Structure 1
Amino acid sequence: MTMNPLRLALVSLLSAGLVACTTAPLRNPMAQWQGSSNFDARRARAVVLHHTSMDSVDEALRTLKSVNSGGPVSAHYLIGEDGRVLQLVAEDARAWHAGGSRWAGIDDLNSSSIGIELDNDGSEPFSEAQLQSLLRLLADISARLRIQPRFVIGHGDIAPTRKDDPSTQFPWQRLAQAGFGLWPRDAPAPPPAGFDPWLAMAVIGYDLRDPTAAMRAFHRHYRGSSAETWQPGDFEILHDLQSQVLELPATR
């Protein structure tokens, strides 16, 4: 049967529309789109949190959308101090936010993570509006991309020799209580005889090529300090965190 010209034209238009829909970048309706050209393709397994170390969200936005002195950088999301959520890169694309990094055996975190920048200069508390927006965004991303809670991590965790964000003021415990990230349970039990804290660090995910930097990152995340030697209570925390990871079901 021969299709008439009008019907053929309509089918062609519909087909083109379907193709366009399937290839359009994924944009989150929770955020205002502010497209950045600094990305390429990747698949997400983790969420990496940053603070911008800048004075305003507008300054951070300019940097994340342009070339800066250290080379182009970007993130998937930027959350202002007022709670405004901006999306710069589609989730199915590779933003340039992690740099040289490693976590739980993953070497290229740019290719396997969502980057979220928080408007914060690194010395101030994170605002309540900002944290509320972050929790809502994490709930949305984690549910859709099926990201395990233990893979919500900080830039300083994955690049301990280079980065220290988010700062010691970031409320990791609050995130964990909402289901995002790993946190020790109340009153963790003493570790058994022969407990190896460095093995526990590796099980949690830390890169131990620079042990001092890894220890500093652990303390920043779990103790709110930058100590470079073991502190009282560290082994109990490490043993509990290691146990939590080992209790998780095996995943691909």
Structure 2
Amino acid sequence: MRSFYPLYIVLLVGIIITSCGSNPYTKTNRIYKKQVKNYSKKLQQFPTRENQNESALNYGEYWVGTTNFNMRKPNYVVLHHTAQDSVGQTLNTFTLPRTQVSSHYVIAKNGEIYHMLDDYFRAWHGGAGKWGNNTDLNSSSLGIEIDNNGKEQFTDLQIISLIDILKVLKDKYNIPAENFIGHSDIAPSRKVDPNANFPWERLAEEGFGLWYDEAEVKTLKLEAEFFKPNPLAIHLNTRLNNRIPFIDKLVFPEVIPADFNIENALKIIGFDTSDLEAAKSAFKLHFIQKNLEQPFGTYDLKVLYIMHKKYL
């Protein structure tokens, strides 16, 4: 009888250890598998002659299945910050049916990646939004959530893991560089993620998103700046009047025309300008990342001019 207790204790400890080491999302994983199975059954329901005849549509005499098709593929990646307190809270949120939100990937602060949904499935991460003429980004994009409360810096481990994911996705689905965008880009009046700490320039250097050259911004001039009277212009007119052939050696800065249209430029990039001020704010959040409370200024205008040409 005495030997029973040590054995019982060992078994109990073993059960506890096994329980602690098991996946806490086993139950929701079973629900995931069940839903995938149901969708799989739907895809295998062929339009037979019998159920075609039950339709009011004027079908042909027999069903003909094409041999030329494949799976739909994502063409955008939309990046988010979670705006929650921990990766655990986010994973829990994305496994509760009542929240009605999800994402394909979640990246923890330590760089761990949680792949929550197959890339070919439609996640509920973008909500109501628009990019160019696309009004259903959920159907054509992958959502990546990064554990961040919305105010803090992103960790180096997170960004390293993010870049690793993006490399795989870009190569696998042939996603264009300009199609790596933020939630605030597609929903400027509703969202501000990823926040101003997000390293868009670093991502662009890796081929995910577009960016600009700071030196180009410095040399770019507004038409009003370039053509106002100044000593150089007076000197130039004098030399031209004296017909001294040195004009070809001059390098003139690029000039933004006076009729440059901010709204059209934002549209060319992809922003929804139905709320123009929100679109301008979203542009600043992505491409300027400072002085966000200030009105759209000369520097912002110059960056917008450069960026809209990249998207043409």
Same fold, TM-score > 0.5, yes or no: yes
Residue 119 of structure 1 pairs with residue 135 of structure 2? no
Letter in 1 for 2:81: H
- Take 1:105 and 1:201, find their aligned partners in 2: how far apart are those partners? 13
Q: Which residue of structure 2 aligns with residue 64 of structure 1? A: 94
Q: Where does residue 145 of structure 1 map in the other structure? A: 173
Distance across 2 between alignment mates of 1:194 and 1:232: 14
Structure 1 outlier segments of 4+, above 3 Å: 34-43
Segment of structure 1 superposing worse, 226-235 or 124-133: 226-235
1:42–1:94 CA contact under 8 A, matched in 2 = no
The answer to which of 77-86 and 183-192 deviates more is: 183-192
The total of aligned residue pairs comes to: 212
Letter in 1 for 2:188: P
Q: Which residue of 1 aligns with 2:215?
A: 187
Which residue matches 2:307?
241
Measure how far apart 1:85 and its partner are: 0.7
Deviation digits for residues 97-122 of structure 1 (CA, Å, limit 9, x no counterpart): 00001002110000010000000011
Higher RCO, Cα 8 Å, sep 6+: 1
Q: What residue ranges of structure 2 are gaps of 5+ in the alignment?
A: 1-27, 40-70, 222-255
Q: How does the TM-score come out when normalised to structure 1?
A: 0.79
With structure 2 as the length reference, what TM-score do the two structures score? 0.64
Aligned AA (1:245): Y
Letter in 2 for 1:230: F
Q: Is the 8 A contact 1:42 1:93 kept in 2?
A: no
What is the alpha-carbon root mean square deviation over aligned residues? 2.1
Distance 1:216 1:149 in 2: 22
Instruction: Decide which structure has the larger Cα Rg and report it.
Output: 2
Q: Is the 8 A contact 2:117 2:123 kept in 1?
A: yes
- The corresponding residue for 1:168 is 196
Pairwise CA distance, 1:185: 2.3
Q: Which residue of structure 1 aligns with residue 282 of structure 2?
A: 217
Which residue in the other structure is 1:4 paired with? Answer: none
| Aligned equivalent of 1:206 | 271
Q: 112-121 vs 184-193, which deviates more?
A: 184-193
Q: How far apart, in 2, do the equivalents of 1:110 and 1:53 lie? A: 19
Letter in 1 for 2:109: E
Q: What letter matches 1:216 in structure 2?
A: S
> How many Å apart are 1:192 and its aligned residue?
2.8
User: What is the CA–CA distance in structure 1 between the aligned matches of 2:90 and 2:124, rounded to whole Å?
Assistant: 14
Q: Show CA shifts across 1:148-172 (max 9, x none).
A: 1111000011001111100111111
| 173 and 118 in structure 1: CA distance in 2 versus 1, 3 angstrom threshold | same
Q: Where is the helix percentage greater, Structure 1 or Structure 2? A: 2
SS of 2:106's partner is strand
Distance 1:193 1:150, change over 3 A: same
Gaps of 5+ in 1: 1-33, 247-252
Whether 1:53 aligns to 2:44 is no
Do the aligned partners of 2:119 and 2:142 also contact (CA within 8 Å) in 1? Answer: yes
